[in-house]
Amino acid sequence: MLILARRIDESIMIGDQIEVSIVDVKGDHVKIGITAPKNVKVYRKEVYLAIQNENIEAVKAKPDIIPALSNLFKERAKKSDEEKKE
């Protein structure tokens, strides 16, 4: 990993289109400004990891699960209809 020391208002170029600048530093809190072309997506890493982990959880679904889910749905709808009548 390349490690560069920077001060507030200094920046780093990644290629010739992406600029990462240090906007502010307060204790362990760093504000970073990123200028990048629209086709480069910038996200906090936690967002990526959360989605990745959720996908890994989701594939654990049991193969015969859908009829049970579908029934839950129907029951819920029925209950709502009954509530409506009351």
Partner 1 sequence: MKVNSKAYGPIEVDERQKIYFPSGILGFENLKYYVLLDAKQQPFYWLQSMDVVEIAFVLIDPAVFRPDYKLDVTKEELEEIGIKNKQDILCFAIVTIPENLSAMTANLQGPIIINRSTRVGRQSINTDPKWKVRHSIMKELASLRQETC
Q: Which residues bind partner 1 (CB under 8 A)?
A: 38-39, 41, 43, 47-48, 50-70, 72-73, 76-77, 80, 83-84
CB of 18 to partner 1, least distance (A): 15
The tally of CA atoms less than 13 A away on the side-chain side of residue 42 is: 10
DSSP 72: H
CB of 45 to partner 1, least distance (A): 12
C-beta separation of 17 from 9 below 8 A: no
Q: Judged by CB, which is closer to partner 1: 26, or 38?
A: 38
CB of 81 to partner 1, least distance (A): 9
Question: Count of CB atoms within 10 A of residue 21's CB?
Answer: 16
DSSP 21: E
Q: Judged by CB, which is closer to partner 1: 14, or 49?
A: 49
